[in-house]
Amino acid sequence: MRKIIRYFVRYFIITSSMLVYMSTHCFIYDIRVMRRRNKKDNCYSYFIGLGDFHDKSHEIIPEQVKELDLIINKCQKDRTKLIIEDVSSPGFGGRCCCNNFFVSSRGGILGGLAKKCKNQGFSCVQNVEYRFCRVASLAPVVNNIRSDFRRIASTSRIYVKNFEQEVNSIIKNISCYNDEKKLNNWYKACISNVTRDMKKLKLKQMSKMSIADYIYYNTRPANRLNFVKKLLTFDSSLVDAKIVHSIVSDPKKQNSIVIAGGSHIKNVSRVLQDIGYTPIYNSKVVVKPYLAKASKGEREPLKNNCVQTAIGTNGFCTRPVPVDLKVLRNFL
């Protein structure tokens, strides 16, 4: 009996240590509303895109979460498709982990949103996220860019081949899409560009390396952050493709609400406009320098920690300004 108890205690400790925590406390900074007339049914299909930016410290988050809940509750559940980029819920293929590592990412706007919407009775909630190996292994690196990555369990025990398999699985899925001719050509271009980047990153040649060793082998301290940012985003066009396909593949759902990273919303809007969607509202995106509080109380630039945005001409990281979600009440 004591051996059994010790086994379960040990198992619990090991399993608990395999959770990778990542904040999805983000705010909405970009709103795009578009529509396209469906001649067959003589009605409009609407697209509402909400672009988010990750910032767990912004005071606007609780207010936006509350307003977003009100907006979602007003939607017609049988005619609305919710498309979400949510790393804390099962995504493509029902996956929500990488090897033995699970991403625990609750709170904020996106954390657990897919599951919450399903519980509210929406028949069509699609989570386009698939990069669980990416998040599990690189989120700790981004937050500790100067640390020893070999000491981080997920970064040292997730391998390059896991990245490669994750991306190839999505490429195989997207290659089966059969939508409008213009979209099919765009899907092929997305796949071609990502495949080219995979070769440049030598994922196949270095597939047996751990992510920690792979980063050390390919970088120096001076370019390490930029290389990690490249690993995080080189296949982002595949997420764009999944979002667009989800919007156009089910004509019975007339309205699509997409909540994803701001770059995805921007790219998807451009593609939708190419196939006949007309913009009817675009919020104004305002970008300002981001300042952090230093230990002595003064303000200082975060020159070495601009993960999602570039360093501005003044040497500060730039971050967008949140928008007022109440404007969406005019379209629901």
Q: What is the pLDDT of residues 90-144, one digit of tens each?
A: 666 666 778 878 766 555 566 667 777 777 778 788 889 899 899 889 988 987 8
What pLDDT is recorded for position 172?
96
- Asked if the model's pLDDT at residue 4 lies above 80, the reply is no
Helix axes 224-233, 211-218, angle to 10 degrees: 130
- Asked if the model's pLDDT at residue 80 lies above 50, the reply is yes
Q: What is the pTM for the complete model shown? A: 0.85
What pLDDT is recorded for position 98?
85
- CA–CA distance, 226 with 255 (Å, rounded to integer): 37
CA 283-288-293 angle, to 5 degrees, is 135
Residue type for position 67: E
| pLDDT tens per residue across span 299-319 | 445 555 565 555 555 556 777
Residues 206/151/53/83 CA torsion (nearest 10 deg): 60
- Asked if the model's pLDDT at residue 241 lies above 90, the reply is yes
Phi then psi dihedrals of residue 251, to 5 deg: -65, -20
- Asked if the model's pLDDT at residue 54 lies above 70, the reply is yes
The Cα-based distances of 73 to 69, 84, 125, 152, 181 in angstroms read 6, 16, 14, 41, 35
Tell me the Cα Rg of the chain. 21
Residues 194 and 177: beta-carbon distance below 8 Å: no
Tokens of 244: 């667009």
- CA–CA distance, 5 with 152 (Å, rounded to integer): 28
